[in-house]
Amino acid sequence: MAGDLWEPAVFKARVDDVLHRFVAAEADKFASIDPVLLPVAEQLEATVARGKRLRAAFCYWGWRAVGQPDDDALVRAAASMELVHAAAIVHDDLIDESPLRHGLPTAHIALRGAVRGRRRAAAAARSLAMLVGDLLLELAGQLFTTSGLPVAYLSRARPLWSALARELIAGECLEILRTGSAPDTEGSLKVIRYKTAKYTVEQPLLIGGVLAGAGGRLCEGYSAYGLPLGEAFQLRDDLLGVFGSPGHTGKACTDDLRGRRPTALLAETWRAADERDRQRLRSFLGKQDLDEEGMQTVREMMCRLGAPERIEEMITARSQEALGALHELDVPRPAATALTALAHSVTTRLS
């Protein structure tokens, strides 16, 4: 990976090594305060044990596309994007009451063991998970600022860090505020844009670019590539959330419907449905004991109304828009090749 050839597995291993070493050291310091904190420290490490490391990859290639060489300090800075993602996952699973992530219990479920037998144990575990997410955000900033990059470089990226946090939290708030309201495609796309698209692709790219000294025109190109690609990423996630295999996604397929999440897939289904279909759909939305038979009924309705096909069309249109914007950028060939490969990987994935 130190050369120009994009080897995703090699890059992922580098990021994993940074994350595991850094978080393990911080978890040890945390647990040393009091032995009772050990389960929380273990959960802190568990949250970063897995991941595709896409956000780190986009940050890395945002740097390389400016013409900067491979740099271990930059890899450390890029790895901090994954701690932001880990924090977002913990908080998102908590808000959505999701039981599984990567096929394992989510933080607020896993931490019940630390408070077993206590009155209101589930609430206590949720509080612990919230604090794990908060600590991960602090660690993200710490890893970034201690990455080894020059202070002047880090200072250039500070406003983007503020924007990343503001927009990510705004997206989460939008999802909460829109949950339970009448499904609306434009509203759902706005949630996607702020909750996922920006911090998954656009902001990591921009941070990597600004660290490397990218000018305004290149940054505009990064946004033109990153924003539609980030939206395509989440639209694929929405499809996988209902039609994907839990064995691949590692998540419960009932989460979106049980939580009445304002996904574009649900909004497109609602838009095409007549009153009879809407009445039928209402009987499943928010149903806490939704089973596979009910899920299959909803899937069949969605397919009959053509909603999955329209989401696929949205994904294709956004992917083509992103690749078109990339084609217009004057970046080194290795960066163009890697960013093209990343665009394909985030839109054609199974998990």
Residue 2 pLDDT > 60: no
Query: What's the CATH number where 67 sits?
Result: 1.10.600.10
Nearest CA to 241 out of 229, 251, 231 is that of: 251
Question: What is the CA 158 to chain-centroid distance, rounded?
Answer: 21
Q: Average of pLDDT values for 233-238?
A: 94
Exposed/middle/buried for residue 146 (C-beta within 10 Å: 0-12, 13-18, 19+): middle
| DSSP letter assigned to residue 101 | E
Assigned domain for 2 exists:
no
Q: Average of pLDDT values for 290-311?
A: 94
- Cβ atoms of 15 and 53 within 8 Å: the answer is yes
Assigned domain for 1 exists:
no
258: confidence class by pLDDT, cuts 50, 70, 90? confident
Across the chain, mean pLDDT equals: 94
Assigned domain for 333 exists:
yes
- Determine the structural domain holding residue 157 and report its residue range: 8-347
Assigned domain for 75 exists:
yes
Please tell me the distance from the alpha carbon of residue 109 to that of residue 174, in angstroms, as a whole number: 25
Please tell me the distance from the alpha carbon of residue 262 to that of residue 215, in angstroms, as a whole number: 36
Assigned domain for 295 exists:
yes
Q: What is the pLDDT of residue 144?
A: 98
Residue 1 pLDDT > 60: no
190: confidence class by pLDDT, cuts 50, 70, 90? very high
Residue 317 pLDDT > 70: yes
- Cβ atoms of 63 and 211 within 8 Å: the answer is yes
Q: What is the pLDDT of residue 3?
A: 57
Planar angle of CA 60, 63, 69, nearest 5 degrees: 95
Q: Average of pLDDT values for 304-331?
A: 97
Q: What is the pLDDT of residue 345?
A: 94
Assigned domain for 3 exists:
no
290: confidence class by pLDDT, cuts 50, 70, 90? confident
Percent of the chain with pLDDT over 70: 99
Percent of the chain with pLDDT over 90: 85
Q: Average of pLDDT values for 165-169?
A: 96
Six-digit token string for 45 = 């490490």
* pLDDT per position as a tens digit, 110-130: 999 999 988 899 999 999 999
Residue 158 pLDDT > 70: yes
Q: Average of pLDDT values for 262-280?
A: 95
Q: Average of pLDDT values for 37-51?
A: 96
Q: What is the pLDDT of residue 96?
A: 87
Assigned domain for 292 exists:
yes
> How many structural domains are present in the chain?
1
Assigned domain for 110 exists:
yes
Question: What is the CA 87 to chain-centroid distance, rounded?
Answer: 10
Strand 104-105 to 100-101 pairing? antiparallel
